[in-house]
Structure 1
Amino acid sequence: MSGMQLWRTSLGLLFDRRARIGKPMFFRMSRPMDIDPSGQSIVDLPALAEIVRNTAGALHAAGVRAGDRVAVYKENHFDCLLIAAAVVRVGAIPVMLSGLLPPDTARPLLQRVEPSLLIGTRRLLEEQDSNGELVSAFAERTLCLDGDVPGALRLTDLLGGPVPEFVPRGDDELMMLTHTSGTTGVPKLIMYTPEKLQGQMARLECRKLPPLTFTRDDVAAMFLPYVHARAFTWIYSVLTLSPATTLLVSENDPEVVGPLLRQHRPTVIEALPIDFQRMVPLADENGGDAFAAVRMFIGNFDAMRWSVIRVFLNASKHRFPVWREGYGQSETGGMGMTMITRYRANKRRDENPGPRKVGRPMPGFVELKVVDPTTFRPVPTGQPGVVLAKTKARCVGYYKEPERWREKAVGDWWNTGDIGLMTRTGALMLLDREVNHTPGGSCLEHEDVIVERLPRGHDVALLPVPDGPPVPVVAAPGGELDRERWRAAVRGVPELAEPVVIDFEDMPRTGTGKILRQELRRRHLEGAGSPGHGRWT
């Protein structure tokens, strides 16, 4: 099997297959894995394959069998992905839940899934929800990875047994469940099959497209929620394209990641907006030497502020560093991509950012169109409307919520819930989420302008209301906003209400760093309605 066909391999056998073919690879972690008693922080492919096999043996000893649903609810780490591989190996279905979900959010997801086994760490397994219940109450059995929890199995007691035979699943059978970000309420559980996750999403990412993809000489640093579908398509691309060293980072604390980045000098970094934001001090420190060798920064999941993009591109000493911004959704995979150069980022100092350009659809993989939100008929070029996408990578449904799926599936097209417009050159520009959009404006664009003008360490969310100007919620250091700076920042911006000022750390966000705008409305607008109906969020 050639490297370019590795995407055909089941996740359950992926590390075994890759360990037998191709070139050696090394993975360095910011901390040891919770499922590896040896406590290694540097592993190669044979070691990863052995960890997956051993974990599969432990799951089998815990009673997991083909067709069972196994929930994973633990602190973020690369080993979440290895646990999922072990679950798939025994023919079961991993249900990946972020350890950042509070128990009150994890509870309805577990109730919906009814897992045969819940895998977690002691901190999360012993935390009670608002009803005083433990999440373990919603699973038949519980497995604790790092200690003793009453009534739970212990991983260390189950390791060392025989490795079960691989149990294959059909290309169209349910392979895995992951959840959406939950910006407007309880997250949805997305259903993936091997055909969708591997055959479409991962296959696209495994193509060699230098310099946009990994090369053998790269040192790739990854900051990811490892329970997200993005992590699974990413691991296929890494194992196919074989960068020499991969840095697996499970936190964004500059004190933790700084030494790792300075020692190994990554050439490619992918991270969430919240991760880049936390690492800004590292980009300033010692001339930004932690990022001196970076040729490409990759941003996903949400729009990044121009001021942050500029900091990192300027910290790179590479001759021509770029910022690769992806546009996609969990339900569809990647739908578009745009590249930002250092020149373009610095030019933004002297001009107001316009609507977010997210690039053109990928030829042969994705089609995009903009339609009227009422009639769903295409609108003229340059006119705003709802963005629809057609892609073979679209997932197969929301688990036990077909009505929520039907709200967004329009025949072969997918309603992204985004408001955007198409340019004459075929590029897509985003204005807002439908639930947060008012005709004639763009909250995202105005937020970019304001944040660009405020001192570093500020963020802004504009909340439109039906009967007045948008209400800005300003997250400022210490909850203190310089009013003179504020007035200068909003000069030329359409009328805004008086700002609501909160501490920067009090801005509510999802586990991937997206601002919870509906939560801001609940806290600060006393039930004021949204301009959009929000059916497509």
Structure 2
Amino acid sequence: MTRLKYSHINIGLLFDWHADRTGQTIVHVDRPADIAPDLGTAFDANTLAATVRDLASALYAAGARHGDKVVIVKDNHFDSVLVAAGAARIGALPVMISPFVPLPMLPVMIAKAAPRLVIAGTTLLAAAVAASVELAPAETPIVTVGEPRDDLPDNAVPLDEFRGAAAVSARPNANAEPMIVTHTSGTTGVPKFVVHSADTAIHSLPPRLERFPLPFMTSRRDDIVAAAIPFFHIRAFLWTASQLAVGPRAMVALSDPAPTEVAKALAAFRPTHVETLPNVFQLWEELADRQPELFARTRLFTSTFDAVHTRTVRKFLNASQRRFPVWAWALAQSEIHAMVGGIVTRPMVNGRRRERSDLTTVGFPPMVRARVVDPVTGQKVPHGTAGLLMISAKGRCLTYLGEDERHRSKVDGKWWNSGDMAISLGFGRYRMVDREVDMIPGMSCIELESTLLDRLANATEIVVLAIPGNLPLPVVCMRDDRLEPAEWTAATHGLPAMQQPRVVPWDQVPRTGTWKVQRAELRARLVGTAAGIGSGNWI
């Protein structure tokens, strides 16, 4: 087997490394794996390692070779990480695609990847056939995982037909070479494929910090760590690597974030560390209200991806019965991982004035530098002036697959254009404003939405949309789909002028596979145009 320095940072070798090193962590899943339903819902370290080795041999037998690209698009489940690890073990490049990408967009993305092999879930394949969508050309083999079905393409072959193939020696790529391709959220169009190596992904600073025993902020050996995240996203690989390095008592990988399903898992495992996306935590607020005991043992909450609202943090920290529960949060991008973050405690959210959230004020971890520049000139702007946030960090992705020029357009030497608007406050502190594409001059949608959520107890989502030539449009989701005029008048007291709110059911708000609101699509549905005020030059 090929031995690499720091083999635990290469997903193709990670599970062998963990089994050899400690082997103590049990991975629990909320439903049987699509790749092997007979394995049940609990995997010890040796089973995980053996499964990855078997998958590597099966993919090799199906035609994948060192240097080939293998597209993986299936129902959300932790087993997506295992399939990708099997591909990386033989030096193939796994290209992860969300099952939530609109069907007509999938052939475009798969064509851009130009894979040797496609691993697809049978549910998604059947939906594509029903919609007359051909995911890949007939000459591209499709290997299926999931429940057998009769309504699949002729070139689809079950993974089981390749099981039991002769063992294949590990031959992963070097740590500086491409290891994994995931994609961005796609809030504004076709998602970009982001190429990472082991060095830029798992060995970069933010994931390395997760593996250190930082007081209150990272997992411990006695923890039960639960995560409800998209397992096709780069975060899933960073989470898996960091947790296996720490070696907690158990990892609980939740594929379905629906509150009813999550409540069952939380009741069974009572995790001490819980991670999910900010919008999913927001969806779970009702659980924190009605079943706070589910979070009674949780000492650490972690949210990544997007900004998190004060009300959400307050509900979960107050649901915990630990003496000093902590919320660790980060704003992250697939291209450069966690950029900024912070730690929140009970006194911070219970003691401040409820009319204002300052969770948008952030600092940067060590070895990550930031500056704010004018969007037109690229020159650094004074403290207190909003501009584009530029980041310098060693975890920057290698490129965009098939779009090298687009990647280069966001790079200025060592600086990466995040596409976020921010204000430098001095002394290493910054206030996040909005994505540039979503900006509204003179205000912050993030802060405004957080304030409104604090004032509207029954609101489950609030989105403030920029409308060219008009006042901002607030879109409000309420638990009972009702918002009284007097209630809105009280909630907006002292806030910037806005249009009258549109009340939209929560399940009718368009979202990406990472649960981000597709603001352009929502704007198009409500006012007939996707155009906002920001230029969108750096999406």
The TM-score bracket by the shorter chain reads over 0.9
| Corresponding position of 1:144 | 144
Question: Are 1:362 and 2:365 an aligned pair?
Answer: yes
- Deviation of 1:9 (Å): 4.5
- Deviation of 1:214 (Å): 1.1
CA contact (8 A) 1:183 1:514 kept: yes
Q: Could you say if the C-alpha distance between residues 354 and 212 of structure 1 is closer, same or farther in structure 2, counting changes exceeding 3 Å?
A: closer
Q: Could you say if the C-alpha distance between residues 392 and 74 of structure 1 is closer, same or farther in structure 2, counting changes exceeding 3 Å?
A: same
- Deviation of 1:273 (Å): 1.9
CA contact (8 A) 1:218 1:266 kept: yes
CA contact (8 A) 2:128 2:134 kept: yes
2:341 to 333, 337, 342: 337
Q: Could you say if the C-alpha distance between residues 293 and 6 of structure 1 is closer, same or farther in structure 2, counting changes exceeding 3 Å?
A: farther
1:470-504 C-alpha deviation (Å, 9 max, x unpaired):
11122234543222111111111111112222112
| Corresponding position of 1:209 | 214
CA contact (8 A) 1:475 1:506 kept: no
Q: Within 5 Å, which residues of 2 pair with 1:293-442?
A: 293-348=297-352, 350-354=354-358, 356-357=360-361, 359-364=362-367, 366-442=368-444
| Corresponding position of 1:265 | 270
Q: Return the alpha-carbon distance in structure 2 between the equivalents of residues 57 and 465 of structure 1.
A: 53
CA contact (8 A) 1:110 1:139 kept: no
Q: Within 5 Å, which residues of 2 pair with 1:488-507?
A: 488-507=490-509
Aligned residues: 530
- Deviation of 1:194 (Å): 2.2
Query: Which stretch of the first structure deviates more once superposed, 7-16 or 379-388?
Result: 7-16
Q: Could you say if the C-alpha distance between residues 138 and 199 of structure 1 is closer, same or farther in structure 2, counting changes exceeding 3 Å?
A: farther
CA contact (8 A) 2:8 2:241 kept: no
| Corresponding position of 2:181 | 177
| Corresponding position of 1:160 | 164
| Corresponding position of 2:100 | 100
- Deviation of 1:208 (Å): 2.7
Question: Are 1:230 and 2:232 an aligned pair?
Answer: no
SS in 2 for 1:98: coil
Question: Are 1:115 and 2:118 an aligned pair?
Answer: no
CA contact (8 A) 1:475 1:505 kept: no
Identity %: 37
- Deviation of 1:402 (Å): 2.3
SS in 2 for 1:289: helix
| Corresponding position of 1:87 | 87
1:520 to 511, 519, 522: 522
| Corresponding position of 2:483 | 481
SS in 1 for 2:316: helix
The alignment's TM-score, normalised by the length of structure 2, stands at 0.94
CA contact (8 A) 2:193 2:400 kept: yes
CA contact (8 A) 1:107 1:138 kept: no
Letter paired with 1:383: T
Q: Could you say if the C-alpha distance between residues 304 and 82 of structure 1 is closer, same or farther in structure 2, counting changes exceeding 3 Å?
A: same
- Deviation of 1:51 (Å): 0.7
1:64-97 C-alpha deviation (Å, 9 max, x unpaired):
1111111110111110000000001111110001
Query: Which stretch of the first structure deviates more once superposed, 104-113 or 388-397?
Result: 104-113
- Deviation of 1:7 (Å): 5.8
- Deviation of 1:230 (Å): 1.1
Unaligned 5+ runs, structure 1: none
- Deviation of 1:139 (Å): 6.6
SS in 2 for 1:276: helix
Q: Could you say if the C-alpha distance between residues 367 and 508 of structure 1 is closer, same or farther in structure 2, counting changes exceeding 3 Å?
A: same
Q: Could you say if the C-alpha distance between residues 86 and 375 of structure 1 is closer, same or farther in structure 2, counting changes exceeding 3 Å?
A: same
Letter paired with 2:59: L
CA contact (8 A) 2:217 2:326 kept: no
Letter paired with 1:443: C
Unaligned 5+ runs, structure 2: none
The alignment's TM-score, normalised by the length of structure 1, stands at 0.94
Q: Return the alpha-carbon distance in structure 2 between the equivalents of residues 92 and 382 of structure 1.
A: 48
CA contact (8 A) 1:7 1:206 kept: no
- Deviation of 1:275 (Å): 2.3
CA contact (8 A) 2:24 2:248 kept: no
CA contact (8 A) 2:111 2:136 kept: no
CA contact (8 A) 1:125 1:134 kept: no
Q: Could you say if the C-alpha distance between residues 353 and 9 of structure 1 is closer, same or farther in structure 2, counting changes exceeding 3 Å?
A: closer
- Deviation of 1:206 (Å): 2.4
SS in 2 for 1:157: helix
Letter paired with 1:368: A
